[in-house]
Each structure stands twice: as structure tokens, then as C-alpha cells.
Amino acid sequence: MTIIEISDLTFHWPKQPTLLDIPSLTIRRGEKTFLKGPSGSGKSTLLSLLAGINLPTTGTIRLLDQPFSSLSATQRDRFRADNMGYIFQMFNLLPYLSVIDNVLLPCRFSDSRRQLLNGQLPQEARRLLTQLHLPDACLHRPVSTLSIGQQQRVAAARALIGRPPLLIADEPTSALDHDNREAFINLLMEECERQNMTLLFVSHDASLEHLFDRHLSLSSLNRATGEYA
Ligand SMILES: Nc1ncnc2c1ncn2[C@@H]1O[C@H](COP(=O)(O)OP(=O)(O)O)[C@@H](O)[C@H]1O
Ligand SMILES: [Mg+2]
């Protein structure tokens, strides 16, 4: 099954030249893809299109065999809640909610992610956080009182809960020290194997590259030259 299918995609920010021009990209079920590219080359922008936060200027994105980029905003929100775990570069945690409530958030918006866990929601949140070395004492604190590295791990647990078929991670280890990075990567790979999850992982950290079965560089996918079309 094809999980991500990009055709003739272009994107530019308002009043900016074309940033992305990607004729085609296909990612199949279960593939673990490492995407790299220089800072400012459009990696986060591409992920925002795959998450449906922004829409392509032209072209289409199909996700799990659905015409994702032509769904309405409400349908895209529902699709994302049911099918996608997303670790943003800027975490996007809700600062006033506790750690555990942040992790459980996607389940509030998705019946399928809730049902998968069969009433074991808080236990599952705790299991993920424990594997990420987040102390129990943190669980009920507002997430804004945690260190940046701890917040990044909360974001990771939130993306993984309910085992969505597609996981998108934007430099998810940037704020982690060596031990926490190992714990995170081990958990991530374990969860992916368990559920045959598809993973698209953006990183600068070349030492992680060998863990992935596919390696892409944005510069070789992207034909945009930074000039106005
Ligand atoms: N919300 C936005 N509005 C306008 N321009 C943006 C926005 N986000 C990113 N950009 C621009 O798009 C380009 C690519 O940025 P980004 O996708 O964040 O690159 P990367 O993730 O590869 O570092 C940069 O020139 C950046 O300034
Ligand atoms: Mg980025």
C-alpha cells in the first residue's frame, strides 16, 4: 500500500519564489525514510504540506490512498487525528495542560486511536513516557515547567500514542542528550516495527541515518531553484 504519494507538487509562501517543486515521491507502507537537506531548504515546509497545515500551490498529495490535499480543512483535521502522529520542530504542546493530558490529546480527537487502546489510555501514555525516561513526578505538571528536552519527549509520546499508521518527525532529537536520544530512537523503531508504521524522519544527525531503510535528500527531490516561476 502507498502511504504517501506526491505528484507534480509545487509550493511557495506568499510573495516568495517557488520553494518546492517535487515531480513525484512515493513512500510505501512500513518504509522508514530519513530525509535530509540544508537548513532553510524547505524540509519543515514539506512536512507541513504532508500534515495538511498548508496546502500545495499546485499538484496533489495522496495519503493512505486518499486525496488528502483536496479534502476540506475539517476532513484533513479528522484524517490527521486518525492516521498521523506528528512531532513538530517546535513541539506545539499546550503549555497549560499537564504532561499526561498533552500526550492524551490526539485520542480526544480520534475514535480509532482511542479504541485501539481499549480503555488503557493513561497506562499507555505512562508506558511511553517511562520508556522515554520521563520521571513519574512530571506527569501532572504543566508541560511548560519542563525542560526543552523533556518537552520534546512529551511530543514524541503524543505522536506515538494509539499507533497511527503514519508518523512524521521534524528534527525530533534536536534537544535530546545522548542517552535520551538513544531511548527515543529505540522506542520509535520498536513502535514502528510493532505496527508496521510508516516513518518520515527529518534530521541533521547523520549518526542516525543507518537506522533507516531509505535515505532521501530534499535537494535531489526538489527542482525549485529559488526563482520566481
Ligand atoms: N510561515 C512561513 N511564512 C513565510 N516563509 C516561511 C514560513 N516558514 C518558512 N518559511 C521560509 O521557507 C523557507 C524554508 O523553510 P523551512 O521549511 O523551515 O526549511 P528547513 O526546515 O529545511 O530548515 C525559508 O526560507 C523560510 O524562511
Ligand atoms: Mg525545519
3-state secondary structure of 214: strand
Atom of ligand 1 nearest to the CA of 170: 21
Give the pLDDT band of residue 204 (cuts 50, 70, 90). Answer: confident
- Helix (H) / strand (E) element for 198: namely strand 198-202
Query: What's domain 2-221's superfamily in CATH?
Result: P-loop containing nucleotide triphosphate hydrolases (3.40.50.300)
DSSP result, 42-86: SHHHHHHHHTTSS--SEEEEEETTB-GGGS-HHHHHHHHHHHEEE
**Predicted local distance difference test score (pLDDT) of residue 113:** 85
Does the C-beta of 42 come closer than 6 Å to ligand 1?
yes
- Looking at residue 199, the DSSP 8-state letter turns out to be E
Span from the CA of 189 to the centroid of ligand 2 (angstroms): 22
Q: Which ligand is nearest to the CA of 35?
A: 1
- The predicted-structure confidence for 49-72, as pLDDT tens digits, reads as follows 999 999 999 999 999 999 999 999
Does the C-beta of 45 come closer than 6 Å to ligand 1?
yes
- The predicted-structure confidence for 111-170, as pLDDT tens digits, reads as follows 888 887 777 888 999 999 999 999 999 999 999 999 988 999 999 999 999 999 999 999
Mean pLDDT for the stretch of residues 180-201 = 92
- The predicted-structure confidence for 94-114, as pLDDT tens digits, reads as follows 989 999 999 999 988 888 888
Per the CB < 8 A criterion, the answer to whether 139 and 129 are in contact is yes
